[in-house]
Amino acid sequence: MNIVQIDNWQDYLREGEQFLKTADGAFRKKAKAFSPDTLYNITCMAIEKLIMAFLMKNGDLAENHTMRDLLFALEKHLGHVPGLADKLMYLDTFQEICDIDKYNIVIPTEQDVIRFLSIGKDIKELLHPDSSECVAQSTH
């Protein structure tokens, strides 16, 4: 089977890493402009970009961009990864915004933010363990 990569996957990887670095730095510095809710959204964007980069590199896309749909697309390539489903489903519990009748947002705590950032780092390591080298090469 010959995989045809989807163009610009490196852009998604670079952006995902940048979002994750921004969220982590803002949390560590206790930047007031970055509320726990904002850090949730930035970290989830990072995770989405990292997953999309992996999928695009492997010639695939997710049906939608909820954590559940991203998980489903990943499992087609990786099979079952212990703990991955729990991590991504946990992230989906903070915002249910697809259905206007069931619109729900939970404001995360500082402990939640620590967990979000850890999940983001785990996803990066799982999907792009050598990504710093790849991003550096893709920008030249």
pLDDT for position 98 = 59
Closest Cα to residue 26, out of 7, 39, 41? 39
Distances (CA, A) of 77 to 22, 29, 37, 43, 136: 28, 37, 31, 23, 25
Domains of the chain: 9-134 (1.20.120.330)
| End-to-end Cα separation, the chain, in angstroms | 29
Closest Cα to residue 60, out of 138, 139, 127, 129? 127
Provide block-wise average pLDDT over 10 residues at a time, the chain (140 residues): 84 98 97 95 97 96 91 95 95 75 82 97 95 48
pLDDT for position 132 = 63
Question: How far apart are alpha carbons 69 and 63 in whole angstroms?
Answer: 6
The DSSP symbol for 6 reads P
